[in-house]
Amino acid sequence: MMSQLTEYVPAPVAIEPHRLFCLADLAPENGKPRSGTGGLFSSRALDAIAVPVYAIDPGETLIAANRAFAELLGYQSVSELVGKKVRQLVVAYADRQLQSGVPMRVEETLRRADGTGLSVECSYHPLIEAGKVAGAIVTVVDDGGSKRFEREWRKLSALIDSSEDLIGIGSADLTVAFLNQGGARMVGLSNPAQAVGRPIREFLTQKAYDTVQNEAWPAVNQGLNWRGELQLVSANGNMLDVLTHSFLVRHRENGEILGQATIMRDITERKKIERERQMLASLVESTRDFIALASPEGRVTYVNEGACRLVGISDPKDAIGMRISDFHPEESWKKITTEVIPAAKRDGHWRGEAQVRNFKTGEAIDVLLNAFMVRTEGDEFALGAVMQDNSERKRTEESLRQAKEAAETANRLKSEFLANMSHEIRTPMNGIIAMTELALETELTAEQRNFLEIAKESSDSLLRIINDILDFSKIEAGKLDLDPTDFNLRQVLSDIVKLMSPAAEQKALSLTCEVDSAVPALLRGDFVRLRQIIVNLVGNAIKFTQKGGVEVDVHAEPESAEAIRLQVDVKDSGIGIPQDKQRLIFESFAQADGSMSRRFGGTGLGLTISSRLVEMMQGKIWVESLPGAGSTFHFTARLKLVCGNC
């Protein structure tokens, strides 16, 4: 037992030469204790003291002791002890820090001559001589084991209270006589004393109480141990499954029955897991899916009823021991061995399509296979498989594939037709617009001019719609190609502003364009399509803005020695776009609000065409917007540098 400082004791004794002995007088001479009368505490004086006592020097060497101390430790004479270090006499010695001069009382275990231990209480009285510690007188009290019993009881009590299990004792009248702290926690009480005296039935379900009354209690009263499962009811009404062991507690000496002891362990979680396992087992057996396990050697160790139905086996027992290869056609087995099993061992699982053989008909059945590794006893791994009959799905997929191909072919033919007809459609429209413009230059009455202007606006609007549809058809048919040429970016932007300014002025909106000075003037790319994108974005900004203005900001970042990444931002103060509609607006024939086509017009193709053109220019397009706070459309495009800018 480790030495333990238990309390502070009276102050150190100051040696008075005319009253006390000098410790040097007690020092052994030639290995034998001195027998002179050097002082008040000479060896003879120590023997006169009834309690065991010994003296030590500053180095904690025993220099004197009385016979009571020698007898206590089982030595024949004091001389066998003199000269020993305290650490030789104390089990689990700890430094006494004697030089501090602080008295102390210590519980420790002394080592007897026969090697056994003896629990004692030692009081160290430091002796001060000329202001220094000259040693100490140590008195020893043998507690007769009472303190050890008390400590052991405290340990046992602490052990009982620290247990998470319920440990209790019931009286003959089926009331609680004792409950540990773990039991109190289990039944939802803050203090075990709250349970003492209460009927046991308050803590059990009716079924559990009947079991205790009719089975457990009679068995225990006959001297038998009773084990079983019960259900506790906690203070908050929750029910707990507990594994219970009950037995009689008897007095050690007279055999009197003190009560029935019960130990309960909470197995609620375990029971829950067991129920889940039972449900899982029922699910596995009732499913129509193929579920099986195979040993590392490739032999079947388990199949469910669903597996047997799928492959035409009458009894699951007939499949046990069969090779995995027996269940698969040759081509599918090759895939299993070369792809599925290696992937399952490497990654833990594999999912894909395979085939199994029906043993009755011999036909190959398409299945969706999920293969995985399962850890078994002995840390070995088995191969697990779950398969679903995929035949109907494969047939449906094939029908859908054929329908999809037919639809795509029809759509492609339509797009190709429109793309091929673009010239034939645009030419008459251009003729109508040209003739209308010429007619407007002649002398006309006010009414005639009004009619022709309406016809001109309608023709222009129709031509824009036709151009959008034809451009989209070309893109869909893969017949739209970029035509890169050298161009002056600032000139293109200036033309766009001039083109769009009348529409902005008509709505009293401002239209500005800012170009970063670092953006090169001369670039190489398809400026016609670039112009188309910007015109579309600016046109939309003007269309959906009632007051304020539209800003166009252009900047660029170098991408390589030969190219830059141009970014154009078109910002407006218009109606904005809800967050959930911002992806929709880039889809074909789509607008953020279906009513917009009636309020603002348009086909809903402008942003789709712009998005496709941006992709062709190796860029991306996106929008940032809040309803009522306007929108900012961004797009990037990769353009080459003209040698003058290299």
In this predicted model, what pLDDT tens digit does every residue of 608-619 receive, in sequence order? Answer: 888 889 999 999
Q: Are 212 and 204 in contact (CB under 8 A)?
A: yes
Amino acid at 554: V
Q: What is the pLDDT of residue 627?
A: 87
Q: What is the pLDDT of residue 379?
A: 58
* 163-271 and 287-389 have identical folds: yes
Averaged pLDDT for residues 588-617: 67
Q: Are 14 and 104 in contact (CB under 8 A)?
A: no
Crossing angle (nearest 10°) for helices 527-543 and 489-506: 20
Averaged pLDDT for residues 234-252: 86
Helix residue spans in 93-230 (DSSP H): 146-162, 181-186, 206-211, 217-221
Among 4-8, 38-42, 514-518, 587-591, the range of highest mean pLDDT: 514-518
Check whether 22 has a pLDDT greater than 80: no
CATH of domain 4-149: 3.30.450.20
Averaged pLDDT for residues 578-590: 72
pLDDT in tens, 442-498: 888 888 888 888 887 777 777 777 777 777 777 766 777 888 999 999 999 999 999
In this prediction, residue 377 has a pLDDT band, given cuts at 50, 70 and 90, of: low
| Tokens (6 digits) for 144 | 């007769």
Q: What is the pLDDT of residue 597?
A: 46
Question: What are the counts of helices (DSSP H) followed by strands (DSSP E) for the chain?
Answer: 20, 25
CATH of domain 396-477: 1.10.287.130
Domains of the chain, by residue range, sit at: 4-149, 163-271, 287-389, 396-477, 485-645
Instruction: Using a pLDDT cut of 90, give the percent of the chain over it.
Output: 26
Look at residue 582 and give its three-state secondary structure: coil
Rounded to whole angstroms, the Cα distance separating 73 from 120 reads 11
In this prediction, residue 598 has a pLDDT band, given cuts at 50, 70 and 90, of: very low
Averaged pLDDT for residues 187-200: 90
Question: Rg (Cα) of the chain, in Å, rounded?
Answer: 50
Q: What is the pLDDT of residue 511?
A: 93
| Tokens (6 digits) for 410 | 């029809």
Check whether 34 has a pLDDT greater than 70: no
In this prediction, residue 422 has a pLDDT band, given cuts at 50, 70 and 90, of: low
Lowest mean pLDDT among 149-153, 239-243, 405-409: 149-153
Q: What is the pLDDT of residue 295?
A: 86
H or E segment to which residue 255 belongs: none
Rounded to whole angstroms, the Cα distance separating 405 from 182 reads 71
Q: What is the pLDDT of residue 646?
A: 55
Averaged pLDDT for residues 432-450: 86
pLDDT in tens, 389-418: 888 888 888 888 888 888 877 777 766 666
Q: What is the pLDDT of residue 316?
A: 86
Look at residue 458 and give its three-state secondary structure: helix
Classify strands 364-375 and 381-389 as parallel, antiparallel or unpaired.
Answer: antiparallel
274 or 284, greater pLDDT: 274
**Which is nearest to 382 in space by CA: 297, 317, 280?**
297
In this prediction, residue 553 has a pLDDT band, given cuts at 50, 70 and 90, of: very high
pLDDT in tens, 280-298: 777 777 788 888 888 888 8
Q: Any idea which fold 287-389 has?
A: Beta-Lactamase (3.30.450)
Check whether 41 has a pLDDT greater than 50: no
| Tokens (6 digits) for 260 | 């029935």
Burial 67-90 (b: 16+ CB within 10 A, else e): bbbbebbebeebeebbeeebeebb
Check whether 566 has a pLDDT greater than 90: yes
Rounded to whole angstroms, the Cα distance separating 270 from 247 reads 24
Residues 6+ apart with CB under 8 A from 539: 500, 503, 606
Residue 601's CB is within 10 A of a number of other CB atoms, namely: 11
| Tokens (6 digits) for 378 | 């002995």
In this prediction, residue 587 has a pLDDT band, given cuts at 50, 70 and 90, of: confident
In this prediction, residue 644 has a pLDDT band, given cuts at 50, 70 and 90, of: low
pTM tops 0.85, yes or no = no
Q: What is the pLDDT of residue 513?
A: 94
Residues 6+ apart with CB under 8 A from 525: 482, 484, 485, 487, 617, 637, 639, 640
Q: What is the pLDDT of residue 415?
A: 64
Rounded to whole angstroms, the Cα distance separating 408 from 193 reads 81
Tokens 């140590």 appear where?
Answer: 138
Rounded to whole angstroms, the Cα distance separating 471 from 588 reads 12
Distance of CA 442 to the CA centre of its chain: 80
DSSP letters for 9-68: -SPPEEP-TTTS--HHHHS-BTTB---S--STT-HHHHHT-SS-EEEE-TT-BEEEE-HH
Q: Is the CATH code 3.40.50.300 the one for domain 485-645?
A: no
Look at residue 599 and give its three-state secondary structure: helix
Q: What is the pLDDT of residue 83?
A: 92
Check whether 578 has a pLDDT greater than 60: yes
Residue 73 DSSP class: T
Beta bridge partners of 85: 61
Q: What is the pLDDT of residue 284?
A: 77
Check whether 102 has a pLDDT greater than 80: yes
Residue 572: burial class (beta carbons within 10 Å; 0-12, 13-18, 19+): buried
| Tokens (6 digits) for 642 | 């003209």
Q: What is the pLDDT of residue 465?
A: 72
Q: What is the pLDDT of residue 143?
A: 65
Q: Is the CATH code 3.30.450.20 the one for domain 163-271?
A: yes
Rounded to whole angstroms, the Cα distance separating 232 from 53 reads 58
Check whether 387 has a pLDDT greater than 60: yes
Averaged pLDDT for residues 510-531: 92
Rounded to whole angstroms, the Cα distance separating 465 from 461 reads 6
Tokens 């002179």 appear where?
Answer: 36
Check whether 15 has a pLDDT greater than 50: no
Q: Are 638 and 565 in contact (CB under 8 A)?
A: yes
